[in-house]
Amino acid sequence: VTTTSFTTTKSEEIFAQAQKLMPGGVNSPVRAFKSVGGQPIVFDRVNGAYIWDVDNNKYIDYVGSWGPAICGHAHPEVLSALKEVLEKGTSFGAPCLLENVLAEMVIEAVPSIEMVRFVNSGTEACLSVLRLMRAYTQRNKIIKFEGCYHGHGDMFLVQAGSGVATLGLPDSPGVPKNVTSDTLTAPYNDLEAVKKLFEDNKGEIAGVILEPVVGNAGFVPPDAGFLEGLRVITEENDALLVFDEVMTGFRIAYGGVQEKFGVTPDLTTLGKVIGGGLPVGAYGGKKEIMSMVAPAGPMYQAGTLSGNPLAMMAGIKTLELLQKPGSYEYLEKITNQLITGLLDVARKAGHQVNGGNISGMFGMFFSDTPVHNYDDAKKADTAKFGRFHRGMLEKGVYLAPSQFEAGFTSLAHTEEDIEATIKAAAEVLKEV
Ligand SMILES: Cc1ncc(COP(=O)(O)O)c(CN[C@@H](CN)CCC(=O)O)c1O
């Protein structure tokens, strides 16, 4: 895909103005292109696998709004369902049937979820699940993994991935030490480190929370036995196992990583895909645990727009589309074709690269060692990644603007899109 004259005049104007109005000109840090350099692209519209920016450049999109656009942007069936719901109002602040419908679909799909609560973002889901972990076990400490990102809640901003890693931030200011003193960290894929933390903090750890396939340190899948090992260790210590499937839910498989890998956590967080592009998050798990959540139980959590009909309908239609036979086989096929092609042309151009995919989630590191954890990921050549990102952008391919993010495909991506992307990469990788 080549764009004749790649001009970003309007993007630059709008972004210059944005920087006067909003910190860094964005409403989420990773969008500012800080780690890849250069001018962020201001979107005008999206459709299917494509983006058009305000200068009318067209791109093949491998970010998909960071996951929600798994059926393709602005899917006609999602939009028409939303238009119908719109006629009846946007938010009730009261029970509505659509909440039951999406809840039933989520409970039906996700092995660990017997009962679910909807919220408005992945961050909210993770904040809530953290409180529930502590309320249920009456213990305060949690284990998270270096490079994993669970939203921007204070407790999680320790060795976090995603934007925190992208910007190379130390743990964020404004987070009191006494808040993060209960957050223990271990390297991803390191069961011995987890065992040691449990030994050193006997009876004090509420549970372990992780991205069961990491997307926020770049794409880092679990080593064989890692997830199974965590399930055993948490059971041995009467601690909870929590999968943060905000990114992987309904993407790695319809039932998430827990279905694909056959390891069932006690609690799960969801987001992105289940909102079909509207603000939704969710947390759920065993009825016995979820029954602690107000008003059924004493653990408080609430939200004005939680479960609103618009967001529920966007999620319902998205999951219906994903239920169509062959969806995940298609995602696996085109995404494996993509990453195999990218790694191949990169090696042919003399670069050391590692990467892979699981279903519609992929990643590539400019690194000569396979990446098993955050330390490995940080050894990657992020400067080269930045040059690669810019080169691909100018050829009409929009990749996640950070080495510490994953890539996402959709049911709307065609084999022609994949081939065009690989062709563009072959040209760019000769120069980076
Ligand atoms: C595993 C996982 N858990 C929680 C979150 C937080 O979800 P949100 O609050 O951004 O909806 C996320 C959000 N992911 C980032 C992308 N890496 C969102 C993009 C952004 O921060 O702008 C996540 O990946």
> Is residue 244 annotated as part of the catalytic site, yes or no?
yes
CA atoms within 13 A on the CB side of 207: 24
The answer, yes or no, to whether any atom of ligand 1 lies below 6 A from the CB of 216, is yes
The answer, yes or no, to whether any atom of ligand 1 lies below 6 A from the CB of 244, is yes
Three-state SS string across 233-287, please? HHHHCCCEEEEECCCCECCCECCHHHHHHCCCCCEEEEEHHHHCCCCCEEEEECH
Q: Ligand 1: which atom is nearest the Cα of residue 211? A: 1
| Cα-to-centroid distance, 121 and ligand 1 (Å) | 8
Mean of the per-residue pLDDT values for the chain? 96
pTM, two decimal places: 0.97
What is the mean predicted confidence (pLDDT) over 33-46? 94
Name the active-site residue from 34, 141, 272, 378: 272
| Cα-to-centroid distance, 326 and ligand 1 (Å) | 27
Contact 211, 247 (CB under 8 A): yes
The closest residue, in CA terms, to atom 3 on ligand 1 is 150
Name the active-site residue from 53, 55, 61, 244: 244
Q: Tens digit of pLDDT for each residue in 79-95?
A: 999 999 999 999 999 99
Q: Tens digit of pLDDT for each residue in 128-170?
A: 999 999 999 999 999 999 999 999 999 999 888 888 777 766 5
Q: pLDDT exceeding 90 applies to what percent of the chain?
A: 92
Q: Tens digit of pLDDT for each residue in 306-328?
A: 999 999 999 999 999 999 999 99
The closest residue, in CA terms, to atom 22 on ligand 1 is 28
184-215 burial, b at 16+ Cβ within 10 Å, e below that, comes to: bbbbbbbbebbbebbeebeebbbbbbbbbbbb
